[in-house]
Amino acid sequence: MLSATGRGMRRLVAAAGPIRYSLVALWDGLDHREAAGIVAGDILKANPKCSGIEALNQGMAFAKNGALVSWDLEGCGLVALPESFGTVRVETDLLLLNNSLQTLPESFAHLQVGRHLYLTRNMLVTLPESIGALRVPGHLSLGFNCLKSLPASFALVHTGGDLRLMFNPLTSWPQFPNVQGTVSK
């Protein structure tokens, strides 16, 4: 049976065109190695100056059951993420630190992270309006970026840990009722 998140992702996948239902089915079926490989290929297409598929694959850690435990994409030279990135499912941490991302795909809010999500030290200027649907059980770190404003939906972000926004040139701060930890400004 599909969860509400799964149904939402299937609608997003159907609307996205190039992303296939089969990619979501791979994540659903715990064939994370193949699904992550497809997403890594999409990342490479969106980032021709990326360090290469080996660097993207090297950061993946898998459990014996085939689940993607964590994905470390720190310092891979990423400037963009493909829409397929929103299908990613990681049991613990997703590390996107020290890249050159300026924005995130609309699908980003649908990725599933089991613990922490780090987007520190990128060049993020904007976040997608859909970001309010993001759920992070641990910390969400967006510090040291170039965010001057946040979409209205960002106030709805759920974190079980801290929300780190320090060292962004933000001029206004919404309330964050769904953040369980502290908000670092």
- Whether 1 shows a pLDDT value over 60: the answer reads no
> Nearest CA to 132 among 121, 143, 140?
140
Overall average pLDDT of the 149-178 stretch:
96
Residue-level pLDDT at 166: 97
Percentage, residues of the chain above pLDDT 70: 89
Express each pLDDT in 79-137 by its tens digit: 999 999 999 999 999 999 999 999 999 999 999 999 999 999 999 999 999 999 999 99
Low-confidence winner among 4-8, 25-29, 95-99, 112-116 (lowest mean pLDDT): 4-8
Per-residue confidence band for 21, with pLDDT thresholds at 50, 70 and 90: low
Q: Which residues contact 1 (CB under 8 A, 6 or more apart)?
A: none
The structure's pTM equals 0.88
